[in-house]
Homo-oligomer: A and B are copies of this chain.
Amino acid sequence: MRTLTVDLGERSYPIYIGSGIRQQKELFSKAIAGKQVMIVTNTTVADIYLADLVALLGADYKVDTCILPDGEQYKTLATYESIMTSLLEAKHNRTTTIIALGGGVVGDMAGFAAATYQRGVPFIQVPTTLLSQVDSSVGGKTGVNHPLGKNMIGAFYQPQAVIIDNDTLKTLPERELSAGMAEVIKYGLICDAPFFTWLEENVDDLMALDNEKITHAIYESCAAKARVVAQDEKEGGIRAILNLGHTFGHAIETEMGYGEWLHGEAVAAGTVLAVDLSWRMGNLTEQDVERSVALLAKAKLPVLPPKGMGREAFIDRMLLDKKVLDGNLRLVLLNALGDACVTSDFSMDDFNGCLNDAIEAASAG
C-alpha cells in the first residue's frame, strides 16, 4: 500500500492506494468519528462490493445504505435529494460519516450530500473506477448537473480520506479503464514529462492491470493533481490546467448527450485538439503531437471528435463553459510536453484550423 497526503492545511487528508485495501478496517475507522455510517453507492457497484463493506463496518457502526441508479443521467438534484431523504429517514445526525463507494458520479453526489447535509458532515471516498481514482477523488469538487449545464451545482468539500483499492479495476469494463487512462495521460502532458515517457513505456501493462504499475500510475496521477490543488484549492488560477482537453471535451459530452461518450473519451478527443492547437502556436513539435496521439490510441481512446459534430456546435457549447470569463474563451494549452498554461492568447485562425481539420478527419474516418 502507498499513502499520499493531500496538503490543504486543516483540510489535509490521506489517499491510500493498494491491492485489497477496501478490506482494511483501520483505514476506515481512523476516518470515522461518530457511530453512524451511510454508504452511498449505485446498483452496479452494490452488486459487487457493498456486502463486503457492510460486513466490514457493521460490527462497529450503525451502517445504512443508499443505492442510487447507475449513470451520469442520474447525477441530478432529484437523486441528491433522495440521499438527503435516506439520511433523514435513518435519523442520521451531524456526527454521521458518508462513504462514497463507486465511480465519479457516486463520489460527486455523495460528496455534495456530505457537504450540505446539516451544513456538512465527514465523508470518505472509495473510488472504484480508474477515472474517479485519479481524478474526482482528489481536489474536493462535488456536485450535480443541471439540465442547462454539467456540474453547475456543487461545492468544494474535502474528504477525510480516500481509499483506492485497485483490485476494483478488475471488474471495470475496458472502455471505462480507457476513459480513466485519458486523465492519467493528461497529468503527464500538463506537468510531468518523465511520467509521460513512463506511460509510453508501460501503457500495455497498465491496460493489462499489472498491479504494481497501476499502483504507480494512480499514485503519480494523484500526486500530480494534489500538487496542483494544494496551490489553488478553489480554482482561482493554476488549478485550471487540470482541465486540459476539458473545454473541448465538455462540448462533445453535452452535444452528444450525457452518457453517449464517456467523460474520459471526450477528454481524449479534446486533448488532441488542445495539443494540436499548441503545435499550431509553435509550442510543440510535430513529434510531440504524434506521441500524444499514439499514447491515447494505445489506451484505446478516440483521438478525433464525434463524426458529424460541426464547428458551430463546438463554439456554442464552449462559450457556456464555466471557464469562460465575461465571454472571453480561455483554453488550457501546452507550452511544452509536461508544461501547461491557461490562456486566451491564441489566434482564431489557429483555433478554427485545428477544429476544422479535426472535424474533416472525423468525417473522413
Task: List residues of chain A with CB under 8 Å of any chain B CB.
Answer: 34-35, 77, 81, 84-85, 88-89, 91, 93-95, 112, 115-120, 141-143, 146, 148-149, 151-156, 234-235, 320, 322, 324-326
Contacts and interface: CB of A to CB of B under 8 A. Distances in A.
B325 A93 contact: yes
A318 to B, nearest CB: 13
A155 B118 contact: no
Contacts of A34: 326
Given A95-B325, A325-B93, A84 B119 contact: no
A119 B116 CA distance: 12
A117 B326 contact: no
B146 A88 contact: yes
A77 B83 CA distance: 13
Contacts of A112: 116
B325 A88 contact: no
A117 B112 CA distance: 12
B155 A116 contact: yes
Given A35-B326, A326-B35, A116 B91 contact: no
Given A77-B77, A116-B116, A143-B119, A93 B326 contact: yes
Contacts of A141: 119
21 contacts: A35-B326, A81-B146, A84-B146, A84-B152, A84-B153, A85-B148, A88-B152, A93-B325, A94-B322, A116-B143, A116-B153, A116-B154, A116-B155, A117-B152, A118-B151, A118-B152, A118-B154, A119-B141, A119-B143, A119-B154, A120-B234
Q: Closest 5 A-B residue pairs measured CB to CB?
A: A88-B148, A119-B154, A118-B322, A116-B155, A119-B156
Nearest to A154: B119
Nearest to A319: B91
A243 to B, nearest CB: 13
A326 B143 contact: no
A247 to B, nearest CB: 13
Contacts of A151: 118-119
A235 B121 CA distance: 12
A95 B155 contact: no
A276 B154 CA distance: 43
Contacts of A142: 119
A322 B96 CA distance: 12
A120 B142 CA distance: 11
B322 A146 contact: no
A149 B146 CA distance: 25
A254 to B, nearest CB: 13
Contacts of A93: 322, 324-326
Contacts of A117: 152-153
A219 B324 CA distance: 41
A365 to B, nearest CB: 34
B146 A85 contact: yes
Given A89-B148, A155-B155, 18 more contacts: A77-B77, A81-B146, A84-B152, A88-B152, A93-B322, A93-B324, A93-B326, A94-B322, A95-B326, A112-B116, A115-B155, A116-B116, A118-B152, A118-B322, A119-B151, A119-B154, A119-B156, A120-B155
